[in-house]
Chain A
Amino acid sequence: MKTYDLIIVGAGPGGSMAAKTAAENGLKTIFFERGRKPGEKNSSGCGLGPRMWKQFPSMMKDLTPEKCPSLRAGAAARNYFINEEGIVVGYVMTRPTESVSYEPAKSWITMNCYRSEFDPWIAEFATYAGAELKNSTLIVNLLKKDGNICGVVDEHGEKYKAPIVIGADGAVSMVAKQSGLRTRWAQDQITVTPQYDFFAPPNKIDDIMGDEALAVWWSAIFPASYQVFFHDGFHQGLGNWLNKWDKNPLFYLNRVINLKYYQRLLKILDAKPRELQSHLLPWLKYPYNTHTDGVILIGDAGGFPCPLEAEGIYPAMVTGKIAAEVAAEAITSEDISKSALSKFDEMWKKTSVGEEFEAGEELYNIWKALPFSPKETMSWFVPMFMEVMGGIYDWSQPHAKRVRQIAAHVKSYMPKALPFIMKYVFPLVAKIFENDLDKIMDPQKLMSVIPKIMDLLPKKKKQRREKL
């Protein structure tokens, strides 16, 4: 039996970050990867945000196209809107706005690269720091003595002993299960995410997409679908909670691909499907049951992806680093109890990840009610939004009359839109701004006022000049 100070199950970005931190803290550390190398089993792609450069500057400056050939940075994001007939009825392209304050974030919104390149890159920091990486090894159980967890067992029955085990083993975490922290997620805590990777020539992507990093396809006929551009290809995927599917997830992803607009895009990009991928992605209102005696769960295993748009790598790295620091302290003080490890929760709650989850429930609810409810919500949201954006482009009427028609039409959506705003938007805004807006944001007051304001819109045009 081999003995270590710390065992980490999983060599994704979270596991590697934990291994690096632990080794730097002088812990004898081993981390396990079931693939032949890190990143071989992962398909989330990487949309790396500027927060990572802010928090891990010395590491991230090492991430170059030489190390990660698929790397592509972009400053623009595009939002497509698709109606019930499957027509792209509009799009909005955005770039970093005036209020963006962090300098690098002004020139790019995400750096995108494939996990098959990113994960080995980050694992190298851990092995360089002295952690031992064991590839092609599936950990199948926790080692227990007198009911206490004291290590792990691999598929060949080999035992590895350590006072603390970090579960960095993803959404379907063996460590979570065997430690009794979680058997499986509730159906509304986990999404399944099918995804195609397309090849496209780099020059075509540059010429046609410019510096777009990503696009979101907001739709009335499929759950919101994301598109992420890499150096020589792109991902097109979508997800939804497991209890929300009425047809095969691939049926909905193929609806994106089969849009006439999308087919044209594939044609001009000279794009060819290259890989089909699928993964589970936890999507929670708030992480819970993150640790017990001798065990800490990080990243996807702990339910840490962002509650708004499911960014997973950054939270995995942050929680991985903290878990290793807490483990180092616990080992030094010889107290690996659940209560000693609760410092993990204390610490992540103080980070940017913790701050994200402060509005976790509201962010989760609005995402569930809007992009993940194509039939119920997007079916009216898309035409209403486009009425405002594009209604004026009609030369069959005088413009002033047209504006009145648009206003009247938007008003017709109010019975659906107002309850939605009350139920999902105001709670979120109120949460974000805390109590400051309570007085003016009182839903009761607004409900009584807004329809009256709408009624004030003139039904008939007044004559501006007396007739001669």
Chain B
Amino acid sequence: MKIEIDGLTKHILGTGDFISIDISKCNNCGSCILVCLVNLWGRKDNRIYISEDYKEKCLECAACYQVCDAGAISFQYPAGGTGVIYEKG
């Protein structure tokens, strides 16, 4: 059985961004790309970016924020009552 992760998470979509990257601080180390379980980070033209649809997929573990030694990633939990829902956590 290969596990398809699509459909294994549930979200209540909120408004407003809760993760952002300050490219001027980013050292391009790629640790955020490595640790994100659901692959929300990418690199294009040598710049790190977060997927546009991250709010629909983010598990809110904040590993990207925590792993960023350059302090380029800002993370705040999504608005109260929105974001990922763990029914069997």
Interface residues of A (CB under 8 A from B): 34-36, 39-45, 70, 114-116, 135-138, 140, 154-155, 171-172, 174, 183-185, 187, 190, 192, 194, 196-197, 230, 233, 242, 245, 247-250, 254, 257-258, 263, 266, 273-280
B75-87 Cβ-contact flags toward A at 8 Å (1 or 0): 1111111011111
Complex Cα–Cα for A197 and B59 (A): 14
Which of B2-10, B20-28, B42-50 faces chain A?
B2-10
Instruction: Kindly state whether residue B72 has any CB partner on chain A within 8 Å.
Output: no
Smallest CB separation, B8 vs chain A (Å): 4
- CB-CB contacts below 8 Å: B41-84 with A: 59-63, 65-67, 69, 71, 75-81, 83-84
Q: Is B76 within 8 A of A185, CB to CB?
A: no
A-B residue pairs in contact (CB < 8 Å), sample of 27: A34-B77, A34-B81, A41-B60, A41-B86, A41-B89, A115-B89, A116-B88, A137-B80, A138-B78, A138-B79, A155-B80, A171-B62, A192-B35, A192-B66, A230-B88, A242-B35, A242-B63, A242-B67, A249-B35, A249-B37, A257-B3, A266-B1, A273-B3, A274-B8, A275-B8, A276-B5, A276-B38
Most B CB within 10 A of own CB, among A36, A41, A245:
A41
Q: A192-B35, A197-B88 are in contact. List 8 more A-B contacts (CB 8 A).
A: A42-B89, A45-B89, A114-B89, A136-B81, A138-B79, A258-B2, A277-B86, A277-B89
Instruction: Kindly state whether residue B13 has any CB partner on chain A within 8 Å.
Output: no
Q: How many A-B residue pairs have CB under 8 A?
A: 127
Residues of A within 8 A of B10 (CB): 275
Q: Is B37 within 8 A of A194, CB to CB?
A: yes
Determine the residue in chain A with the shortest Cβ distance to B62.
A172
Tell me whether A114 and B1 are in contact in the complex, defined as CB-CB below 8 angstroms, given that A137-B80, A155-B80 are known contacts.
no
Counting chain B residues whose Cβ lies within 8 A of the other chain, the interface size class is 35 or more
Q: Is A172 within 8 A of B66, CB to CB?
A: yes
Q: Is B81 within 8 A of A135, CB to CB?
A: yes
Residues of A within 8 A of B88 (CB): 70, 114, 116, 197, 230, 233, 274-275
Smallest CB separation, B21 vs chain A (Å): 15
Residues of A within 8 A of B83 (CB): 41
Smallest CB separation, B53 vs chain A (Å): 16
Smallest CB separation, A447 vs chain B (Å): 38
Smallest CB separation, B77 vs chain A (Å): 6
- Say which residue of A184, A273, A278 sits within 8 Å of B65 (CB atoms): A184
Residues of A within 8 A of B66 (CB): 171-172, 184-185, 187, 190, 192, 242, 280
Q: Is B3 within 8 A of A254, CB to CB?
A: yes
- Say which residue of A137, A171, A263, A276 sits within 8 Å of B37 (CB atoms): A276
Determine the residue in chain A with the shortest Cβ distance to B75.
A172
Residues of B within 8 A of A174 (CB): 76
Smallest CB separation, B74 vs chain A (Å): 11
Smallest CB separation, A406 vs chain B (Å): 37
Q: Is A116 within 8 A of B87, CB to CB?
A: yes
Q: Is B1 within 8 A of A257, CB to CB?
A: yes
Q: Is A40 within 8 A of B86, CB to CB?
A: yes
Q: Is A35 within 8 A of B75, CB to CB?
A: no
Tell me whether A279 and B34 are in contact in the complex, defined as CB-CB below 8 angstroms, given that A34-B77, A114-B88, A138-B80 are known contacts.
no
Determine the residue in chain A with the shortest Cβ distance to B63.
A192
Tell me whether A41 and B35 are in contact in the complex, defined as CB-CB below 8 angstroms, given that A192-B63, A276-B9, A279-B61 are known contacts.
no
Smallest CB separation, B79 vs chain A (Å): 6
Residues of A within 8 A of B65 (CB): 172, 184
Smallest CB separation, A203 vs chain B (Å): 19
Determine the residue in chain A with the shortest Cβ distance to B82.
A136
Residues of A within 8 A of B8 (CB): 196, 273-276
Smallest CB separation, B1 vs chain A (Å): 6
Residues of A within 8 A of B39 (CB): 248
Q: Is A280 within 8 A of B87, CB to CB?
A: no
Complex Cα–Cα for A45 and B37 (A): 19
Residues of B within 8 A of A39 (CB): 86, 89
- Say which residue of A155, A233, A274, A276 sits within 8 Å of B59 (CB atoms): A276
Residues of B within 8 A of A35 (CB): 80-81, 85
Complex Cα–Cα for A40 and B60 (A): 12
Residues of B within 8 A of A247 (CB): 34
Residues of B within 8 A of A187 (CB): 66-67, 69
Residues of B within 8 A of A136 (CB): 80-81
Determine the residue in chain B with the shortest Cβ distance to A263.
B1
Complex Cα–Cα for A36 and B36 (A): 25
Residues of B within 8 A of A184 (CB): 65-66
Smallest CB separation, A47 vs chain B (Å): 13
Residues of B within 8 A of A279 (CB): 59, 61
Q: Is B80 within 8 A of A275, CB to CB?
A: no
Smallest CB separation, A381 vs chain B (Å): 26
Complex Cα–Cα for A266 and B3 (A): 12
Residues of B within 8 A of A194 (CB): 37
Complex Cα–Cα for A165 and B84 (A): 26
Complex Cα–Cα for A414 and B88 (A): 44
Complex Cα–Cα for A132 and B88 (A): 26
Most A CB within 10 A of own CB, among B35, B36, B80:
B80
